[in-house]
Structure 1
């Protein structure tokens, strides 16, 4: 199972300071494809998710830190 999925891709990308175009270039897809995966209008295939994980050096620890940072930011904005 992939760590990156449609539900967390946008948060990962945003917190790493990347645009959808940046991520798309790293894995050889269009920015539109990345945006569609983020919105759920297209499924993020497992192989693409693995490519994104590799390109962004995402492991379980880094994903946990990103998720915690996202939660902290969301709480501060309330």
Structure 2
């Protein structure tokens, strides 16, 4: 079973790729996912200001339950002016 992770903006730079796939056995939580990533990327995606979208819907980090066929996008804080 495969889960797709999308990294936007500076998170893509940390990840080194715009997206990656993870094999999952069932519903994975954010800590489950983070522990399988490079430590720097795990810290970046779990930062307090990073927003998470599960299949296009914003979710709280504690509500992440992603599994087969799901898409999890990590959205950095918006800046500019």
TM-score by length of structure 1 reads: 0.29
Bigger proportion of residues as helix: 1
More strand per residue: 1 or 2? Answer: 2
TM-score w.r.t. length of structure 2 = 0.28
